[in-house]
Amino acid sequence: MAAILEAIGVDLGGTKIEVGRVDATGHVLKRIGFATDTEGGPQQIQNKIIEAIQELQNGSKIPLVGVGIGLAGQIDPLHGIVHFAPNLPDWEDIPLQENMQKILGLPVKVINDVRAIAWGEWLFGAGKSTQDLVCVFVGTGIGGGVVCAGKLLKGHSNTFGEVGHMVVDLDGPSCTCGNRGCWESIAGGWGIAKQAREAVLNDQVAGARLLKLSEQKIENISAKNVGEAYLQNDPLAISLIKKVQKALIAGCINLVNLYNPEFLILGGGLIDGIPEIVAVIEDGVRKKALKAATQGLKIVTARLGKQVGVIGAAAVVFDFLLKESNKKGEWK
């Protein structure tokens, strides 16, 4: 791949959207970020993304080879239809790929956001040298992408690696998916916030610092508040984070025993907020995962930083274009 190739990567999140022009070596040349206006509905969001892409094209002499869009949700990979997106209300069966292609006149690929991130980290980041990696992003939920034997795995209906909904605690808290004890119901952002609110409701004295950080509104307590209070040595936050650490260790042990990666790449808001948690996870995994599975295992943090979503989405486009140039007419 010559560096002369350029693509657009879009990281379409529930609170913000990042759009970037990325070259074939994974560098973001220019980017535009804006808040996700969910009030205006899917059409409004698509329009704003198109405007951003057109602005990024302005003044560039290098033509774009395509657009990659990463978002959390259930996606038809062949036609780029968004069936459902947990963080984007009203997005139901939106033919995102077709809509964007029509207006932009460029090939468009729609992909699960953490799978795009895994691709980016594999091509350009922490997992560059390997054929076997698991990428886990702990944000509001917990998402995963898995590369095995040099292939980003999709599964039978494009849901391979839904790690956030792996049961780690049979009688654990109820989850948004209808099950109990899912990993993200304990260790994901929304799960941490929920547990913190319940703990403060039970004991407002112990919860004084969390209440202060959330302007005295229990319903406003966020995972970020828990992280802040933890760094201020608040006992309640420490006990909450200990529970989270225990679940993070168990979940990572499962990923190591089940997927046997060479690299376990950790990223996302929680990891960025409390970076020392990576050492705690590593210690737990090395002690309790199967020895044969931890031989040669490296546990590392994601390397592409805040632009990983944009870079990953663009990387997907480069990959598909490469295949396209080898096999005409097989754009999938």
Tell me which residues touch its own copies (CB under 8 A). 74, 83-84, 130-132, 148-149, 151, 153-163, 165-172, 177-179, 181, 246-247, 250-251, 253-254, 257-262, 287-290, 292-293, 295-297
| Contact predicate 136/265, CB 8 Å | yes
Please state whether beta strands 6-12 and 16-23 pair in parallel, antiparallel, or not at all (unpaired): antiparallel
CB of 148 to its own copies, least distance (A): 5
CB of 296 to its own copies, least distance (A): 6
Q: How distant is the alpha carbon of residue 154 from its chain centre? A: 15
**Which CB sits closer to its own copies, 250 or 313?**
250
**Which CB sits closer to its own copies, 296 or 305?**
296
**Which CB sits closer to its own copies, 26 or 164?**
164
Q: How far apart are CA 10 and CA 313, in angstroms?
A: 6
Q: How far apart are CA 250 and CA 246, in angstroms?
A: 6
**Which CB sits closer to its own copies, 94 or 104?**
94
**Which CB sits closer to its own copies, 32 or 148?**
148
CB of 327 to its own copies, least distance (A): 17
109, with CB counted inside 10 A (0-12, 13-18, 19+), is buried
CA–CA distance from 314 to each of 9, 20, 136, 299 (Å)?
A: 4, 8, 19, 25
Instruction: Name every residue whose Cβ is closer than 8 Å to that of residue 239 and which is 6 or more positions away in sequence.
Output: none
CB of 164 to its own copies, least distance (A): 9
Show the tokens assigned to 58: 């302005």
**Which CB sits closer to its own copies, 68 or 73?**
73
Q: How far apart are CA 197 and CA 230, in angstroms?
A: 15
CB of 295 to its own copies, least distance (A): 5
CB of 128 to its own copies, least distance (A): 15
Q: Is 81 helix (H, G, I), strand (E, B) or coil?
A: strand
